Amino acid sequence: MNTALQTYIDDCRAASCACPHAADCVQALAPMMLDLLKRTGDFLEEGHRQSDLDGYTRNLIHATPDGDCSLYAIVWRPGQWTPIHDHGSWGVVGVVEGVLEERNYVRTDDHHDRDEGIELARGGVILLTPGTVTTFVPNPDHIHLTGVSQDREPAISLHLYGRQMSNFHVYDAQAGTRRLIEVSHNES
Ligand SMILES: [Fe+2]
């Protein structure tokens, strides 16, 4: 693994271990992502830039053996969006190229552990440009959808999570339901 990337992963694991609360963890990790974004030329390979006409593409850069940390490069073609989802983890996101749009939701019912009877209120929109870092924490989970508008250039973003991000809840705002889905990724 590239030295800068290995140092970043090691620093992130040390910071997350030292921070029992997720909010403290992302507070410590956000500046590290800001620095990592300045060095993407050193470690982002062609395999991390894979895209797919059928949907946004999650390219795994590194996952720790014990599953407590994972880093992905996600490639978004114009018009590609996630469904409404949560994460079950803290996360740190940094934009490498393009404009990534985030549309937020707030869960307003009082039963956050239930998969039905979910009430979602639409929240604000954030446009994330290259060099921008954003973070989120769980409990209650951050619920949003992200993607790139049809009229914009493709985007690439780095996503660091406090677990192996192999599944998450997808929400149906109209039906007021959510379901846990398995999600795939590319490995280079
Ligand atoms: Fe997300």
d(CA 85, CA 95): 19
List C-alpha distances in Å: 38 to 33, 50, 62, 133, 156. Answer: 9, 20, 18, 12, 14
Residue 158 above 80 pLDDT?
yes
- pTM reported for the whole predicted model: 0.95
Domain housing 81: 3-187
* CATH code of the domain covering residue 136: 2.60.120.10
C-alpha 102 to ligand 1 mean position (Å): 8
CA neighbor of 162 nearest in space, from 28, 5, 48, 3? 28
Ligand 1 geometric centre to CA of 136 (Å): 9
Q: Hey, what are 181's tokens?
A: 């889905």
What's the token pair of residue 86? 């949560």
Q: Distance, CA 174 to ligand 1 centroid (Å)?
A: 19
91 pLDDT above the threshold of 90: yes
Segment 76-81 shows an average pLDDT of 98
Q: In the prediction, which pLDDT does 102 show?
A: 98
Q: How far, in Å, is the centroid of ligand 1 from the Cα of 109? A: 21
Distance between CA 186 and CA 88 in Å, rounded?
Answer: 21
CA 97 to chain centre: 15
Q: What total of structural domains would you count in the chain?
A: 1
Residue 52 and residue 8: Cα distance in Å, rounded?
28
What pLDDT is stored for residue 181 in this prediction?
A: 96
**CA 10–ligand 1 middle distance (angstroms):** 23
